[in-house]
Amino acid sequence: MMDGTETESRKLLRRLRDAMAEDRAGQARLDNITHLIADSMGTEVCSVYLFRDSETLELCATEGLKPEAVHETRMKMGEGLVGRVAKTGSVVNAADAPSAKGFRYMPETGEEIYSSFLGVPIQRLGEKLGVLVVQSKQAREFSADEVYALEVVAMVLAEMTELGAFVGEGAALSARHQQAVLIRGTTGQEGAAEGHVWLHEPRVVVTNPIAEDPHKELTRLHEAVDTLRISVDQMLAGASGGDAEQTQVLEAYRMFANSKGWMRRMEEDISRGLSAEAAVEKEQSAARSRLSQVTDAYLRDRLHDLDDLSNRLLRILTGQGRDTGAEMPSDPILIARNIGPAELLDYGRSLKGIVLEEGSVGSHAAIVARALAIPLVIHAGGLVTEALNGDHIMVDGDQGIVHLRPDDTVVAAFRDKIAMQAKAQERYASIRDKPATTKCGKTISLHMNAGLMADLPSLEGSGAEGVGLFRTELQFLVRNQMPKRSELSALYAKVLDAAGGKRVVFRTLDIGSDKVLPYMKPNDEPNPALGWRAIRVGLDKPGVMRMQLQALLRAANGRPLTIMFPFVAQYEEYTAAKAEMQKAIERERILGHPLPEKLEIGAMLETPSLAFAPDKFYEEVDFLSIGGNDLKQFFFAADRENERVRRRYDTLNVSFLTFLGNIVKRCDASGTALSFCGEDAGRPVEAVCLAAMGMRTLSMRPASIGPVKNILRSIDLDGLRRVIEDAGLRGDQSVRPAVLDYLRKQS
């Protein structure tokens, strides 16, 4: 039976290939294919349903159902048995279809006389394209071999669809990759950009899904797998002696490359008539569709491994390397499912925009994109399969929207927006060297946040007075191994050189929580944001902190030095960290190295507890900087990384502003210098409210300095403070509406 069906399926595929080779128009091709399938499978009906949009399926060709129903019969995802196959991405095999769960009678098709139903999804690499159905009058369940054969045919149909086999004159389908598409994602970094698509991982195109000679295909597969295994072994050999974690990951990877099940399934697919490439891709599609259903992190990682191995194998088989010979456009917008920070840095500032299908606001790639001030949209589902290299694309980082192949009206509106932003930039440039002095005569000091050498040129361009927050962990995050002290010290020295005497506040390593170093064993903590992170790691395992403090002292080489400890929750943590600093100084003194002519040691105020620390803490600390991103998440108990709750609480909530006001009062009373360096400092409305609450130093993304200075120069902080207080007295939840009203009247 098995052999017989194999031959049948191979025969069917051969007939399919011959049909494809005929010079027919799109619709005629598809009609012919349904005829061939029905004939080969001995069923009265074969129909192809394809997606019209993400929710609607359309009957596009049929053998056996009423021809008038073609392009007329439509159904929603999940509707009827066909809709069920589409929605679940799995096979429906029913001997008595009318009594099967979800059956919907569609009189216009004349299908009421058919009893058995077999529907399989047409999908390619996790993207749903449609449903392939066979039906017969005889009530019977289709055999496993028949199901398998139909799945193989569906896979070939998916490939042909991707290759555009059904478009053109008499099109059954409108051409893929040609229409305008709007994708809604999430803002990763503000800004608007227009350019052309550059795929980080260009798609491998399989042009020969059907095997001519299965024996030859098997040999090709075996040779390609051998090459793959050798390259994985080489990767492993290259990593041995290095980090144990990395080796473990690669070992798991090697296990997959040697997996017998994977190999067997691909061999079976080839014996059924698929080419080696199509067999690999079929496995990859299966992994992708499982990936969309699995939530377990470990399993997801393994499925990602499988996906990655399949990609490598496809590249070996097709000879299509990463470098496809395509030339990077002059205005590239990078499209990727996800990307690591080091890879992103390799592209550097050449990119005009970045769109990721995955990623998160706090991901390392997002941090790098922000540092490079490149507009970024994340969670842009479906873009990687939809976009082609060179497609025209517009990225709206402010709204988190992507326009792929936009039509003329969108292009015009978008260009207006870019022009308006450019005008605003001109206005900001004109006040670059002027102080941020308000109408009521108060001057606010504006500094920039940084973390990479690439940020430093902005110090000049933005008009920042200094670097109010240098996130040192970025240097650790973008590498594959722990940097050496000498490397760090050279880098910090370069930062100080580039700052040319302007103050740079180096924050010591803030790892843990969302910032996990690739070469450190991740801790399995139930609540990482509340876990072993930042100064807690530094004090418990002081080796790295000592190394970093020493690197900073050496980098300063006698120049003034400012250091800030992150995530201090109580006074004793500050004194313990400061004691480490004293020890480091002592060591340097003994070694005869120059000591900083001035040393300031501050703390970040990121936990509400520190707002209530004893007076002696406020008297002792050289300065405090409010890390509003963390402080707000702990104040409202709302995870800053959780899209569901992130925006639920307004920074301008009366309780939060009152709390910030109390911190200002304590600092005023003890004469402690205070700044605010969370993202809110860079949002103009929030920034003026922080200033109205008494903050005199704000540190933000360089691109925000212009807009914030612009609004500060036009505002009367005393008036704004009264508006905030009145809103509080009235019992408003947030002062935002009242503040916006005030700002509107002022402008």
Between 214 and 512, name the residue whose CB sits nearer to Mg ion. 512
Q: Which of 60, 667, 677, 689 is catalytic?
A: 677
Amino acid identity, residue 399? Q
Size of the site for Mg ion (CB under 5 A): 3
677 is catalytic: yes
274 vs 674, beta carbon nearer ligand PEP:
674
Sheet containing 74-76, strands listed edge to edge, beginning at the edge strand earlier in sequence: 74-76, 56-63, 45-51, 127-136, 116-124, 92-94
Cβ-Cβ contacts under 8 Å for 336 (sequence gap 6 or more) = 199, 200, 201, 354, 355, 356, 357, 384
Minimum distance between the CB of residue 692 and ligand PEP, rounded to whole angstroms? 20
Contact with ligand PEP (CB under 6 A): which of 324, 575, 629, 642? 629
Which residue is closest to ligand PEP by CB? 627
Least distance to Mg ion from the beta carbon of 369, Å? 18
x/- binding map, residues 436-475, to ligand PEP, per CB under 6 A? ---------------------------------x-x----
Smaller CB separation from ligand PEP, 279 or 467:
467
Q: Which is nearer to ligand PEP, 566 or 661 (CB)?
A: 566
Residue 209 near which of ligand PEP, Mg ion, none (CB within 5-8 Å, type-dependent): none
- 196 given a catalytic annotation: no
Query: Cα angle vertex 387, ends 383, 392, to 5°?
Result: 115
Catalytic residue among 364, 379, 403, 447: 364
With CB under 5 to 8 Å by kind, the binding choice for 628 among Mg ion, ligand PEP, none is ligand PEP
Determine the Cα–Cα distance for residues 660 and 273; give it in Å rounded to an integer: 69
Cβ proximity to ligand PEP, 336 vs 509, nearer residue: 509
Q: Can you name the residues that pair with 121 across neighbouring β-strands?
A: 131
Choice from 83, 89, 627, 682 touching ligand PEP (CB under 6 A): 627
Phi first, then psi: give them for residue 259, nearest 5 degrees: -65, 125
Q: What CA–CA distance (Å, rounded) separates 456 from 433?
A: 17
Near Mg ion in 600-629, by CB under 5 A: 606, 627
- Between strands 181-184 and 401-404, the pairing is antiparallel
Q: Which is nearer to Mg ion, 473 or 606 (CB)?
A: 606
Residue type for 206, please?
Answer: V
- CA dihedral of residues 53, 58, 60, 63 (deg, nearest 10): 150
Nearer to ligand PEP, 126 or 627 (CB): 627
Shortest separation between residue 667's beta carbon and ligand PEP, angstroms: 17
| Sole residue written with tokens 């990482």 | 528
Full DSSP string of 637-692: T--TT-HHHHTTS-TTBHHHHHHHHHHHHHHHHHT-EEEE-SGGGGSHHHHHHHHH
Cα distance from N-terminal residue to C-terminal residue, the chain:
82
Size of the site for ligand PEP (CB under 6 A): 10
Which of 202, 125, 132, 120 is CA-nearest to residue 159? 125
Helix (H) or strand (E) holding 603: strand 599-605
Q: Which stretch binds ligand PEP (CB under 6 A): 25-33, 48-56, 389-397, 623-631?
A: 623-631
Site string (549-588) toward ligand PEP, x via CB under 6 A = ----------------------------------------
- The single residue among 31, 588, 606, 686 that binds ligand PEP, judged by CB under 6 A, is 606
Q: How far is the CB of 627 from Mg ion (least distance, A)?
A: 4
Q: Which stretch binds ligand PEP (CB under 6 A): 76-84, 292-300, 403-411, 625-633?
A: 625-633
Work out whether 628 is an interface residue with ligand PEP (CB under 6 A): yes
Asked if 678 and 628 count as a contact pair (C-beta separation under 8 A), the reply is yes
Question: In terms of C-beta distances under 8 Å and separation of at least 24 residues, what long-range contacts does 329-334 make, across chains too?
Answer: 329/195, 329/196, 329/197, 329/198, 329/390, 331/194, 331/195, 331/196, 332/195, 332/196, 332/197, 332/198, 333/193, 333/195, 333/196, 333/197, 333/198, 333/393, 333/395, 334/198, 334/200
For residue 311, what are the contacts with CB-CB under 8 A and spacing of at least 6? 201, 204, 284
The torsion angles phi and psi of 405, rounded to 5 degrees, stand at 45, 55
Q: Closest approach of Cβ 510 to ligand PEP, in Å?
A: 6
Binding site for Mg ion (CB under 5 A): 606, 627, 630
**Which are the catalytic amino acids?**
364, 677
Contact set with ligand PEP (CB under 6 A): 469, 471, 510, 606, 627-630, 677-678
